[in-house]
Structure 1
Amino acid sequence: MIGTDTTGSIPVHLLFRDEPESADRVADDGPATVSMAGPVVGAATTTPTLAPLKAVIPAPARPAAPSRPAPTADPQLVERPAAVLPGWIGVVGGLLAIAACAAVVWWAGAVPESVAHMLRLPPRPYHGIHLGQWALLALGVLAILFFFGGLGRGRVGYAWVLTLFGDYRGTVRRTGLLWVSPLLLRRRVDVRLRHWRSEPLSAVDAKGTALQVVVLVVWRIRDTVRAALGVEGHEEYLREQVEAAMARVLSQLPADAFHEDAPTLRDAEAVGEALTRMLSAECAPVGIDVFSAQPTRIEYAPEIAAVMRRRRIAAIDAKHRDSVLTAVVDAVDDVVHRLTTRGLVELDDYERKSLVKDLTVAFYTGRSGPGEGA
């Protein structure tokens, strides 16, 4: 109560509610509003506390990946096994086509007598090759090309993505000699567990300090069709996502906290977990599994490296001097307290100050070493 005016309490907790507002409290097309409670006669006025504010602004901890929706991929791009045949079927079919062409040539009499005698075939008179025989020979040659052209070798750690006139026809992960229709376009994809070590990448920390970071990423292609057809160059996509995720993670914490105990980017485990989690979410829509993304080196940029190194040395020296001074003060206090409580000496204020000064200088000189002064 201020004079004759009355004040109403504002429900501050409504500003920081975690659960979404209901439809009757928040309009769809307008901003969310908070109604002020009017004065209640005879009711005690409540004072808002700072607990909701502390809940909304958490203490700095390990860097966490911000949640945001991942890009969606084409639902039709789902890996499925392709229809392939064993390689011996293509070999047998090609040999039969060769034998059929040889039989047509022999039937037309185009085989020399010496060759026919060597093959123990009865000679036939040559009267030219008719149009029908030419057609059979053309079909035989096409069959040879079709059967032998479809032969391929499936290797361990590689897969084929098959397409026909731009339409996805399946993925081949089998190994050994295989036969695939030569009409299908084959795109080889490496599905082995791979690692990539980046070049020094530029970034900034939470204080805007320029950094250079080297990241080691362990990854593998999980869905071959999405990696080969869902994105233009999955390796380039991964490199760009590494750079983007690294910039977002490193900007959440400072590189060093010289004069305070606070989370920094020197916690490589926390930074690696956040970077791995963020990269996994970004690369999942294109069929890439990221198993680990760890910073192997976090350094200051060359233009500020010398300055930050001197600052770090000064901070370490100041912390060391503070710890030594604290130990010296505790030791002096303990010595003076023991001397006075046991009645060994009787000191007035001047003598007490002089003794404290002499003990402090002696203890600090002994703690600091011969190369350091008080």
Structure 2
Amino acid sequence: METKEFQFKGLTLSGFAMLFLNILLTVLSAVMVVAGFVWCQHELLAGLLIGVGFALLAVTLFVWGGFVMVEPGEARVMMFFGKYKGTYTNVGYSWVNPFINTKKLSLRARNLDAQPIKVNDKTGNPVMIGLVLVWKLKDTYKAMFEIDSQTMAQSGGAQQVGTSVSNVMLAFENFVKTQSDAALRQVAGLYAYDNNDSASKELTLRDGADEINKQLEEKLDERLSMAGIEVVEARINYLAYAPEIAAVMLRRQQADAIISAREKIVEGAVSMVKMALDKLSSEDIVELDDDKKAAMVSNLLVVLCGDDSAQPVVNTGTLNH
């Protein structure tokens, strides 16, 4: 994506060298002013010393406004009378033109743990869903000029809105939170919470975590890129039915689980009965007619599919009695 951000190419000097020079100028100006008022007896020379001393003092005060300190993970947006002059990211203590207005931005990764919100899934069921998002500023030009940071900070309840990095980053956090809620609602509405049909292969919020998280990241990136914000990671960290339908849906899930378990039990029991009949027939252990096979199948299925343990009964008569 095209960006208007570029590195600051204006004059920059070592902050420590300028600090040392400025201290010397301050001391020199003070000495000249004192000398003009106290020591110098010549009126013209005294006036000259005082005038030059105050001029140097004014210069030192002007120089003090050009010191800039940039920490790792920070950037300074450089503005010259309202015109963007670049982004300064050189770590350390520097000095720039005091007429340049510098605005500090943090490029460090930030975390948003969004509280669960109520949304309707694809089938219309209300669900509670939340996310955790890791984001950071990538494009300082868009971050500074594409969104109204002061309005966003005020909407977030900030007491004092200014150019401080805390207030500016608060504005971005409010923007990210609003867009995250919108993206989460959009993605949650595309999928059902769970499949009612166990044979269905349709992607759901409950089972399709990786695919849905990937789509959530894409939706968030589309919404946040306009503000120069990069989505590092986005994950759904909370998913549940809304309280008003949670009990009903829990009973449905329990019923589905019981049915699925019964299907497995019946499938296994039929397989075992077939194996027993085939083995009796293939090894000529006993010959059974259709009625006896039916009785044997019935008894085995009752034993294998029953919830309680079967009580053995010994038949002391013949097969016909």
- Choose from 243, 259, 264 the match for 2:204: 264
- What is the TM-score of this pair, normalised by structure 2? 0.77
Cα distance in structure 1, aligned partners of 2:45 and 2:240: 80
Please state how far the C-alpha of 1:87 moved relative to its aligned partner.
0.4
Task: For 1:149-298, list aligned pairs within 5 A.
Answer: 149-232=65-148, 233-261=171-199, 262=201, 263-265=203-205, 266-298=207-239
Which secondary structure state, in structure 2, belongs to the residue aligned with residue 182 of structure 1? coil
CA contact (8 A) 2:77 2:87 kept: yes
- What is the TM-score of this pair, normalised by structure 1? 0.67
Cα distance in structure 2, aligned partners of 1:369 and 1:318: 18
Cα distance in structure 2, aligned partners of 1:147 and 1:264: 62
Kindly, what percent of the aligned residue pairs are identical? 25
Cα distance in structure 1, aligned partners of 2:69 and 2:291: 97
CA contact (8 A) 1:93 1:147 kept: no
Cα distance in structure 2, aligned partners of 1:162 and 1:201: 39
Please state how far the C-alpha of 1:177 moved relative to its aligned partner.
1.5
Cα distance in structure 1, aligned partners of 2:264 and 2:110: 48
Partner of 1:101: 29
Please state how far the C-alpha of 1:203 moved relative to its aligned partner.
2.2
Cα distance in structure 2, aligned partners of 1:309 and 1:129: 96
Matching of residue 363 in structure 1 with residue 304 in structure 2:
yes
Q: Deviations over 1:243-264 (max 9, x none)?
A: 2222222222211114324222
Q: Deviations over 1:45-90 (max 9, x none)?
A: xxxxxxxxxxxxxxxxxxxxxxxxxxx98x6x42332533210343
Which secondary structure state, in structure 2, belongs to the residue aligned with residue 177 of structure 1? strand
Please state how far the C-alpha of 1:287 moved relative to its aligned partner.
1.8
Cα distance in structure 1, aligned partners of 2:254 and 2:42: 100
Cα distance in structure 2, aligned partners of 1:151 and 1:343: 102
CA contact (8 A) 1:212 1:298 kept: yes
Cα distance in structure 2, aligned partners of 1:292 and 1:278: 12
CA contact (8 A) 1:153 1:178 kept: yes
Cα distance in structure 2, aligned partners of 1:230 and 1:99: 45
Deviates more, 1:274-283 or 1:341-350: 341-350
Amino acid across the alignment from 1:97: L
Change (3 A) 1:272 1:86: same
CA contact (8 A) 2:5 2:86 kept: no
Change (3 A) 1:205 1:172: same
CA contact (8 A) 1:90 1:148 kept: no
User: CA RMSD, aligned part only?
Assistant: 2.8
Cα distance in structure 2, aligned partners of 1:348 and 1:101: 123
Cα distance in structure 2, aligned partners of 1:130 and 1:230: 56
Report the count of equivalent residues.
284
Which secondary structure state, in structure 2, belongs to the residue aligned with residue 296 of structure 1? strand
Cα distance in structure 2, aligned partners of 1:183 and 1:81: 14
Please state how far the C-alpha of 1:342 moved relative to its aligned partner.
5.0
Cα distance in structure 2, aligned partners of 1:309 and 1:126: 100
- Choose from 229, 235, 244 the match for 1:303: 244
More helix by share: 2
Cα distance in structure 2, aligned partners of 1:151 and 1:345: 102
Deviates more, 1:153-162 or 1:341-350: 341-350
